[in-house]
Amino acid sequence: MTAMRYLLIVALVLGGGCRPEPIPHNPSRGGIGAKHVDHDIDTTQQKAPADSIVVKNDGSTLDLAPTWDKHRALVVFYLGGWCPHCKRQLESLQQYQKDISDLDAVIIGISVDKPEDAKALHDKLKLNFELYSDPDLAVITKWGVADVGQHIAFPATFIVEPGGTISFRKVGTSPTDRPSIEEIIAALKNTQ
């Protein structure tokens, strides 16, 4: 075997011979400079923002805070309907929606998508939970998960207990960095 062929084989084996997964295109990109998010901060036992006003699919506004006054909430921030990883996560949540509901939690999805785009995604995926719009990053910023330079939320998942205490937090560092459905169910069971 020639030295060149040997080096090529070693490079393929060590490099896996694979290209990294491409990052999805964000059609909402805007702004300048990304806001730094400390992904390792433990915000458990902190309170969810008191005023989390989002836009419903019909264009009206809704304050989500009363939801966690009385109920547990699984709050999921996703990049947008254009993101294949987000769609898979939402489909997984839909598949386990009954299990999540049986653990006394409601699912809330939030992105910068326009209300009509959130509705289209909701209908396409046949979701039994609501997707809300935060086009100005107001709520996303209050939760500390805004990527201002990309004009999106980092993929993030929170469990909010009745009364507003955050008992679980996972903020992703890439489009694929999200808790599995098993992690979410386990976290809901552990905080019940």
Q: What is the pLDDT of residue 50?
A: 86
- Residue 5: CB partners within 8 Å, gap ≥ 6? none
* pLDDT of the chain, 192 residues: tens digit per residue: 555 454 444 444 444 443 334 444 444 444 333 444 444 444 445 899 988 999 999 999 999 999 998 889 999 999 999 999 999 999 999 999 999 999 999 999 999 999 999 999 999 999 999 999 999 999 999 999 999 899 999 999 999 999 999 999 999 989 999 999 999 999 999 876
Q: What is the pLDDT of residue 51?
A: 86
Q: Which amino acid is at 76?
A: V
Separation between Cα atoms, residue 51 and residue 171, nearest integer Å: 20
Q: What is the pLDDT of residue 2?
A: 56
User: What predicted TM-score, i.e. pTM, was given to this entire model?
Assistant: 0.78
Strands 72-77 and 156-160: antiparallel
pLDDT, tens digit (0-9, with 9 covering 90-100), for 15-35: 444 333 444 444 444 433 344
Q: What is the pLDDT of residue 172?
A: 93
* DSSP state at residue 156: E
Q: Is 66 left (phi over 0), alpha (psi -120 to 50) or beta?
A: alpha
Separation between Cα atoms, residue 151 and residue 140, nearest integer Å: 10
Two structure tokens written together for 110: 């939030």
Q: Which amino acid is at 56?
A: K
Separation between Cα atoms, residue 81 and residue 87, nearest integer Å: 7
pLDDT, tens digit (0-9, with 9 covering 90-100), for 24-67: 444 444 433 344 444 444 444 589 998 899 999 999 999 999 99
